[in-house]
Amino acid sequence: MNGSVRTSSWWLALALAGCATPALRGTGDLGLVVERGSGRVLIVDTTARQAIGAVEGLGDLSHASVVYSRDGRYAFVFGRDGGLTKVDLLKQRIARRIVQAGNSIGGAISQDGRLIAVANYEPGGVKVFSSETLEQLADLPATELGGGRRSKVVGLEDAPGNRFVFSLFDTGEIWLADLSDPATPRVRRYTGIGAQPYDGLVTPDGRYYLAGLFGEDGAALLDLWRPEAGVRRVLSGYGRGEQRLPVYKMPHLEGWAVAGREVFLPAVGAHEVLVVETENWRETARIPVHGQPVFVMAQPGGRRVWVNYAYPDNDTVQVIDVPSRRIVGTLKPGKAVLHMEFTPRGGEVWISARDDDRVLVYDTASLAELARIPARKPSGIFFTSRAFVIGM
């Protein structure tokens, strides 16, 4: 009888443990904080403003980025070492993991959520995987450079219609790849788009792909509504300029802030944020700021743009008021501010301070600090709301 009671209790405990561990919850207020260097991601809850778990074993996460499945349950983490890891945010564990290249730089998820594309440096090209199984479905090797080497791929973004658009750093190309049928990808190649494109963005309306150039001043613009019109050069003054200012960190283009009819973008080298109108893609203003900007991000539903900076000014975040173009706030979140992520309706912003081993949460209206979350060398912060945005 005692034995039976023990057995039944054991079974009961097992049954309860088996189901009780992953709590039933919505996934809309979850996200990941990348712990650069430790191969770990924190799972965070933006309602509780807390880390609620961690998942280890993701490899080299320097410069890692994340996209989400359409249900918000799974994160796809792109590591620097070519690792592609599917993380289950509810079970708080790795669902699948592959090492798909030797060196890679981010990826994207298709509009329908079925395809994951990864941009690779080595071997240069794009590989496409099933988001369900991580089975490889397509391989798009980049243009050959000779000696068996291929161009590095950068600035990979998703575009409407299960297309991916990306740039070839070494050969100065933009490729627009239609993966509607992954077995037979259709690729349109634009050559001679400019020297050394180093990053790209898709505007929030899904219309334009813009690639920044490292090898010359200017940017390359592709109108995805009219791909037959080709790539044109815009922003001829955008870049390092003739003086070749020392650049401590190339700015991120994904962070370019589209606010209404204007784009706010980080100057290269200079202590300025540039304002560009998107009708003719011409510069209309320059706003003096605290340092060399890295991310310039529009607060959702707000009239504010947030800016962080390269070394040695990377302890600072500034807030620009869009209509007046004035700086209305300066924060000192900590040492080595690497990334910012807004809650989806813009009420709060999460900021990582790598060298202070913490993430800070601020109210975007009052600029009051709401929480600080311990993290080991945090870098990128990515919320599940990215699942619903084109060109992330």
160 forms part of the interface with a second copy (CB under 8 A):
yes
Cβ 266 vs Cβ 293: under 8 Å: yes
Q: Which of 91, 93, 149, 332 binds a second copy (CB under 8 A)?
A: 91
Question: Which x/- pattern over 325-364 shows residues binding a second copy (rule: CB under 8 A)?
Answer: ------------------xxxxx-----------------
Q: In the chain, which ranges are continuous DSSP H helix? A: 2-20
Q: Please tell me the distance from the alpha carbon of residue 377 to that of residue 338, in angstroms, as a whole number.
A: 10
Cis peptide before 333 (omega within 30 of 0): no
- Whats the size of the chain, residue-wise? 392
Question: Which x/- pattern over 29-48 shows residues binding a second copy (rule: CB under 8 A)?
Answer: xx---------------xx-
Smallest gap from Cβ 27 to a second copy, in A, equals: 4
The secondary element (H helix, E strand) that includes residue 41 is: strand 40-45
Smallest gap from Cβ 113 to a second copy, in A, equals: 7
Minimum CB distance to a second copy smaller for 243 or for 366: 366
Residues numbered 213 to 242 that lie near a second copy (CB under 8 A) are 225-226
Residues numbered 95 to 114 that lie near a second copy (CB under 8 A) are 111-113
215 burial (CB, 10 Å; 0-12 / 13-18 / 19+) is middle
Question: Which x/- pattern over 271-300 shows residues binding a second copy (rule: CB under 8 A)?
Answer: --------x--------------------x
Q: Please tell me the distance from the alpha carbon of residue 259 to that of residue 262, in angstroms, as a whole number.
A: 5
Distance from the first to the final alpha carbon of the chain: 61
**What would you report as the CA-atom Rg of the chain, rounded to the nearest whole angstrom?**
22
Q: Which of 33, 68, 165, 337 binds a second copy (CB under 8 A)?
A: 68
Minimum CB distance to a second copy smaller for 226 or for 244: 226
Smallest gap from Cβ 80 to a second copy, in A, equals: 27
Of the candidates 334, 348, 345, the residue with the CA atom closest to the CA atom of residue 377 = 334
**Using CB under 8 A as the criterion, which residues of the chain lie in contact with a second copy when the complex forms?**
1, 4-5, 7-8, 11-12, 15-16, 18-20, 22, 24-30, 46-47, 68-74, 89-91, 111-113, 160-162, 205-207, 225-226, 259-261, 279, 300-303, 323, 343-347, 365, 384-385, 387-391
